[in-house]
Amino acid sequence: MIKHYKIFWFFFILVFIFDQIVKILTLKGMRYQSEYLDLTFALNTGVAFSMLSFLEHYLKYLHLGILLILFAYLFWQKEFLKEHIVAFGLMLGAGCSNLLDRFIHGGVVDMFFWHKGFEFAIFNVADVMINLSVALILIKEFFLKRGKNDRMD
C-alpha cells in the first residue's frame, strides 16, 4: 500500500503545484484572448457557477470539512482508494488548491473563459482536474468493471 500512497501524493502535489502556478501567473496579469478561449481573471466567492456565495467566508470552512471527510473516508476505505489512486490524487490535490485560494484570496481564482458557441462559466486548472478525476472513477466503476463482470457471468 506504500507504493499506492506514493502515487497518490505524486498526483496530489503535481496538480496542486501546477494549479497554483497558473493562478499566480493569472494574478500577476497573464492574459490571453482567442476566438474560443480567453485567459482572464475572476475571483469566485461561491462554488460552481458562483452558487453558495451567500455563505461568504463560511464557505471555506464547509469546503475544508468536506475535504477532511473525503480524506478520512478514503484512507478508511483503502481498497476503493487503491482502485482509484490517480483519480483521488488529482481530485484532492485540486480541491486543496482551491481551498488554499479561499483562505488566501477570499475566493477561488478562476481564469479560463470558453465563449465559442456558448458562454461557459469561468474555471481553473483545479476544476478541470476534479472533473477529469470524476470521469476516471465513473469510467472505471461503470464500464471497465461492468465489462469484467459480464465476462465472468
User: From CA 97, how far away is CA 99, in angstroms rounded?
Assistant: 5
The share of the chain scoring above pLDDT 70, in percent, equals 92
Q: Which stretch of DSSP H or E encloses residue 145?
A: helix 145-152
Is residue 19 flagged as an active site residue?
no
In this prediction, residue 143 carries a pLDDT of 83
**What is the C-alpha separation between 89 and 70, in angstroms, rounded?**
12
Q: Give me the helices (H) in 28-144, please.
A: 59-76, 78-83, 85-105, 125-138
Please report the pLDDT score of residue 99 as a whole number: 96
Q: What is the pTM of this model?
A: 0.86
| Separation of alpha carbons 46 and 59, rounded Å | 7
Assigned C-alpha cell, 129: 482536474
pLDDT at position 67 is 95
Q: Which domain holds residue 106?
A: 1-150
Q: Is 153 a catalytic residue?
A: no
Catalytic residue among 19, 38, 101, 127: 127
pLDDT band at 21 (very low <50, low <70, confident <90, very high): very high
* Residue from 38, 101, 110, 153 carrying the catalytic annotation: 110
pLDDT digits (tens, 9 = 90+) for 76-110: 998 999 999 999 999 999 999 999 999 999 999 99
Q: How many domains does the chain have?
A: 1
Is the predicted pLDDT of residue 14 greater than 80, yes or no?
yes
